[in-house]
Amino acid sequence: MRFDIVTIFPEFFDVLDISLLGRARKSGLIELGVHDLRDYTHDRHRTVDDTPYGGGAGMVMKPEPWGEALDSVLDDADDPLVIFPSPAGDVFTQQMARELSENAHLVFGCGRYEGIDHRVFDHTASRARVKLVSLGDYVLNGGEVAVMAMIEAIGRLVPGVIGNPASLVEESHEAGLLEYPSYTKPAVWRGIDVPPILLSGNHGAIERWRHEQQVERTRRVRPDLLDE
């Protein structure tokens, strides 16, 4: 799977060198291209923003560098999906991560300031599939953190990235429930026991207990998931 990211802060994505995704890149399961939007400007100050038409606070990202940057990423691409992180997009979920992981090539355009000139979305949609995706109902300073979260959630679903695929199946949100609580050794820590059922060796009873914990936890923390 290939990810391309257009951003004014390429160094944000240096952390993709480490951990599971770093290993997946080294083994070739994941390819990453990070593109500095300012490389597509033509003035001395490498300007990417300007004042908004119609007035108002803040600055808007100029369409010209975005057009050139996306041309350079999309020109040789085969059926890419372009994702613009935006608080006005569809909310990112595990289900969406799974659907997005079925694409061979995702391109992310990280907005900053008050966002990107809207013509960039319209023009990009005339040549590729485009999706606006929100991380949640709050406003970040830029799209980079949202893209990092999406790449981590999508990348770990790429076959081979997680050593034991069974661990993906049991996770929160996979079956519409939150995950059960997990414990490891020692059996007693600072006077707190591991639930005795987990030491019983009775696999059927452990499975039932874990399921009850999932339902109870979901009802308490996220009753909306049970309604769905």
CA-closest candidate to residue 111, choices 138, 136, 83, 130: 83
Answer yes or no whether residue 49 interacts with ligand SAM by CB under 6 A: no
Return the residues of window 103-122 that contact ligand SAM according to CB under 6 A: 110-112, 114-115
Q: How far is the CB of 199 from ligand SAM (least distance, A)?
A: 43
Residue 171 CB, shortest distance to ligand SAM, in Å, is 22
Q: Is 180 helix (H, G, I), strand (E, B) or coil?
A: coil
34 binds ligand SAM (CB under 6 A): no
DSSP labels, 78-121: SS-EEEEEEEEEEEP-HHHHHHHTT-SEEEEE---TT-B-THHH
Query: Total binding residues for ligand SAM by CB under 6 A?
Result: 19
By CB under 6 A, tell whether 140 contacts ligand SAM: yes
Based on the shown chain and the rule CB under 6 A, indicate whether residue 143 belongs to the binding site for ligand SAM. yes
Site for ligand SAM in 160-189 (CB under 6 A): none
> In terms of Cα–Cα distance, which of 200, 220, 219 is closest to 228?
219
User: What are the angstrom distances between the C-alpha of 163 and each of 154, 156, 187?
Assistant: 15, 10, 26
* Residue 149 makes contact with ligand SAM by CB under 6 A: no
Pick from 24, 135, 154, 161 the residue near ligand SAM by CB under 6 A. Answer: 135
Give which of 7, 8, 51, 2 is closest to 31, Cα–Cα. 2
Q: Name the residue with the smallest CB distance to ligand SAM.
A: 111
| Closest C-alpha to 158, from 215, 89, 104, 222 | 104
Residue ranges that bind ligand SAM, judged by CB under 6 A: 85-88, 110-112, 114-115, 134-136, 138-143, 146
